[in-house]
């Protein structure tokens, strides 16, 4: 077998679906006997949706989720800011609200269309990674032990990752002292718009409300440090709504009542030889901004095409596979810093600082350019890989404009795209590599080499085919 994917959460499912779509021989196992029925991560952001389009999953997500276009900031009933979450330049100018169990259901359905199923109640125990491959010990539901040999292994096995422990990777960081209540239930009497996420600042802590479906909401509320680590009751949630909300909101029909603490941790290197880490196995942080699952799924999108090119003998392992951690570890670091800042702002204890925050929020967040920058940032469309070993030229590492009909990287082979007005000179390159010719990205632009995940590998001047060719040769190396 070429790749063993451990863990069938949203990240493992994305990983396996991308590998299977590209014709890689792989297996995906999960120790849980059944998929989760918990809503967990609710937001799928624009960049994740763009990348899902490449595997043909975009329409199913659009049909299932509920678009949210606004975030309201409130001090009790007083609106401090109405932030439009409508980033420019994407086919998905909104945040798609969809419970994680639905996200996983859609991904698993997509995976089956590529001929692969999750093997359930199969647990990874030990693993040994050598120069030629990985040996993994699996335990089946009937107690049977199986030793699997794979060329590569991807640990998408969540925050308590067995794979991470097995490779001895440190998970540096801390557990924050604050405690949080979480509830999925029905709310009535809410003055916010149905497509609005709402955050209420209060001296006692922050209250955040997220629409899931008609009348159903996710409630998250910070509690003072030292609050007992217990699940809240419906009455607890009602008390928080009464104290911090706009007044007159009634909670009913709880679906899920839970609590959590925030961990901010990350591995330094997402790879050890033939073993990779992705998603919560590599980074965990505050749910502020809903970045966790999206970042993890984008780890998978980043690694899958590189592994596929190597497994199909279309590229050498380096520098492609080395670029995975080089590209995604800085993104994880940035997400940790940003979500940490958001959490610190939301949970300020000092009343003078709280007043200052509320004043600044009502002044600054009303400005259109500030809102536009926030929307772009949250939607993850500003993420790029400028410092990557794969990036060169004037636009190397930037996200290429999205193609709606046939996105970059769609289909059953991970191909680079050579985008140019004038294709004369491209023939030798097309003969050497699995690449396709596409129209120039923008009027007047020279040659742009676009990766199968829609990021620019190189921007060059008109006619600089030799330069582009050398760069692509360098990226793909001499295939095995």
The residue ranges that bind ligand FAD (CB under 6 A) are 6-12, 29-32, 40-42, 100, 123-124, 156-158, 162, 258, 260, 279-281, 287, 290, 292-293, 296
**How many residues appear in the chain?**
480
How far is Cα 414 from Cα 314, in angstroms, rounded to an integer?
9
How far is Cα 473 from Cα 480, in angstroms, rounded to an integer?
14
Two structure tokens written together for 35: 């998929």
Specify the residue, 100 or 298, whose C-beta has the smaller distance to ligand FAD.
Answer: 100
How far is Cα 253 from Cα 187, in angstroms, rounded to an integer?
9
Torsion of CA 441, 300, 264, 7, to 10 degrees: 160
Q: What is the closest distance, in whole angstroms, from the C-beta atom of residue 11 to ligand FAD in the complex?
A: 3
Q: What is the closest distance, in whole angstroms, from the C-beta atom of residue 41 to ligand FAD in the complex?
A: 3
Specify the residue, 331 or 420, whose C-beta has the smaller distance to ligand FAD.
Answer: 331
Specify the residue, 256 or 362, whose C-beta has the smaller distance to ligand FAD.
Answer: 256
Q: What is the closest distance, in whole angstroms, from the C-beta atom of residue 77 to ligand FAD in the complex?
A: 25
Q: Beta-carbon neighbour count of residue 79 at 10 Å?
A: 15
Q: What is the closest distance, in whole angstroms, from the C-beta atom of residue 13 to ligand FAD in the complex?
A: 7
Specify the residue, 124 or 309, whose C-beta has the smaller distance to ligand FAD.
Answer: 124
Q: What is the closest distance, in whole angstroms, from the C-beta atom of residue 97 to ligand FAD in the complex?
A: 11
Specify the residue, 263 or 362, whose C-beta has the smaller distance to ligand FAD.
Answer: 263
- Cα 89 vs. chain centroid, distance in angstroms? 19
Tell me the sheet residues that pair with 390: none
Question: What's the burial of 345, exposed, middle or buried (CB within 10 Å: 0-12/13-18/19+)?
Answer: middle
Kind plus residue range of the DSSP H or E element containing 176:
strand 172-188
Two structure tokens written together for 383: 């993420």
Specify the residue, 95 or 400, whose C-beta has the smaller distance to ligand FAD.
Answer: 95
Q: Beta-carbon neighbour count of residue 81 at 10 Å?
A: 21
Q: What is the closest distance, in whole angstroms, from the C-beta atom of residue 344 to ligand FAD in the complex?
A: 17
| Cβ contacts of 36 within 8 Å, gap of 6 or more | 9, 100, 101, 104
Two structure tokens written together for 411: 């289909």
DSSP state of 308: H
- Give whole-number Cα distances, 55 to 25, 119, 143, in Å: 17, 21, 35
Specify the residue, 6 or 83, whose C-beta has the smaller distance to ligand FAD.
Answer: 6
Q: What is the closest distance, in whole angstroms, from the C-beta atom of residue 466 to ligand FAD in the complex?
A: 42
Residue 358 has φ and ψ, to the nearest 5°, of -65, -40
Q: What is the closest distance, in whole angstroms, from the C-beta atom of residue 297 to ligand FAD in the complex?
A: 8
Helix orientation angle between 100-113 and 10-21, rounded to the nearest 10 degrees? 20
Specify the residue, 40 or 376, whose C-beta has the smaller distance to ligand FAD.
Answer: 40
Closest CA to 26 of 311, 280, 300, 434: 311
Q: What is the closest distance, in whole angstroms, from the C-beta atom of residue 340 to ligand FAD in the complex?
A: 14
| Cβ contacts of 75 within 8 Å, gap of 6 or more | 200, 201, 202, 358
Specify the residue, 289 or 317, whose C-beta has the smaller distance to ligand FAD.
Answer: 289
Specify the residue, 246 or 292, whose C-beta has the smaller distance to ligand FAD.
Answer: 292
Q: What is the closest distance, in whole angstroms, from the C-beta atom of residue 15 to ligand FAD in the complex?
A: 9
How far is Cα 406 from Cα 133, in angstroms, rounded to an integer?
35
């Amino acid at each position: 077998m070429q790749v063993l994917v451990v863990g069938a959460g949203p990240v493992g499912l994305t990983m396996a679906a991308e590998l299977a779509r590209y014709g890689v021989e792989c297996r995906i196992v999960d120790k849980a006997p059944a998929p989760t029925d918990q809503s967990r991560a609710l937001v799928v952001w624009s960049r994740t949706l763009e990348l899902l389009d490449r595997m043909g999953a975009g329409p199913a997500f659009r049909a299932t989720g509920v678009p949210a276009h606004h975030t309201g900031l409130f001090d009790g009933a007083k609106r401090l800011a109405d932030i439009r979450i409508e980033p420019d330049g994407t086919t998905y100018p909104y945040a798609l609200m969809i419970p994680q169990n639905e996200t996983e259901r859609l991904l698993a359905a997509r995976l089956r269309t590529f001929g692969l199923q999750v093997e359930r109640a199969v647990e990874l125990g030990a693993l040994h990674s050598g120069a030629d491959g990985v040996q993994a010990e699996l335990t089946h539901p009937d107690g049977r032990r199986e030793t699997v040999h794979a060329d590569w292994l991807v640990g998408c096995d969540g925050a308590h990752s067995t794979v991470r422990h097995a490779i001895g990777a440190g998970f540096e960081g801390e557990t924050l002292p604050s405690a949080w209540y979480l509830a999925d239930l029905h709310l009535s009497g809410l003055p916010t718009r149905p497509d609005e996420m709402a955050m209420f600042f209060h001296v006692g802590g922050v209250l955040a409300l997220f629409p899931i479906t008609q009348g159903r909401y996710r409630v998250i509320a910070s509690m003072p440090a030292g609050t007992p680590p217990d699940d809240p009751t419906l009455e607890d949630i009602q008390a928080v709504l009464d104290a911090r909300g706009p007044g007159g909101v009634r909670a009913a029909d709880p679906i899920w009542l839970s609590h959590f603490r925030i961990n901010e941790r990350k591995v330094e290197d997402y790879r050890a030889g033939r073993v990779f880490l992705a998603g919560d196995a590599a980074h965990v942080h505050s749910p502020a901004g809903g970045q966790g699952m999206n970042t993890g799924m984008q780890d998978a999108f980043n690694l899958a095409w590189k592994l596929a090119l190597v497994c199909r003998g279309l590229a050498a392992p380096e520098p492609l596979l080395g670029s995975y951690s080089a590209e995604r570890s800085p993104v994880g670091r940035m997400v940790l810093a940003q979500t940490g800042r958001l959490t610190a702002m939301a949970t300020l204890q000092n009343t003078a600082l709280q007043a200052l925050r509320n004043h600044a929020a009502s002044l600054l967040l009303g400005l259109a350019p500030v809102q536009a920058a926030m929307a772009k940032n949250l939607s993850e469309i500003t993420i790029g890989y400028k410092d990557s070993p794969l990036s060169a030229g004037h636009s190397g590492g930037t996200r290429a404009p999205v193609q709606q009909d046939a996105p970059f990287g769609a289909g059953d082979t991970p191909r680079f795209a050579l985008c140019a007005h004038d294709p004369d000179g491209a023939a030798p390159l097309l003969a050497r590599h699995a690449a396709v010719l596409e129209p120039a990205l923008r009027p007047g632009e020279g040659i742009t080499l676009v990766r199968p995940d829609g990021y620019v590998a190189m921007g060059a001047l008109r006619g600089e085919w030799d330069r582009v060719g050398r760069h692509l040769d360098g990226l793909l190396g001499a295939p095995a």
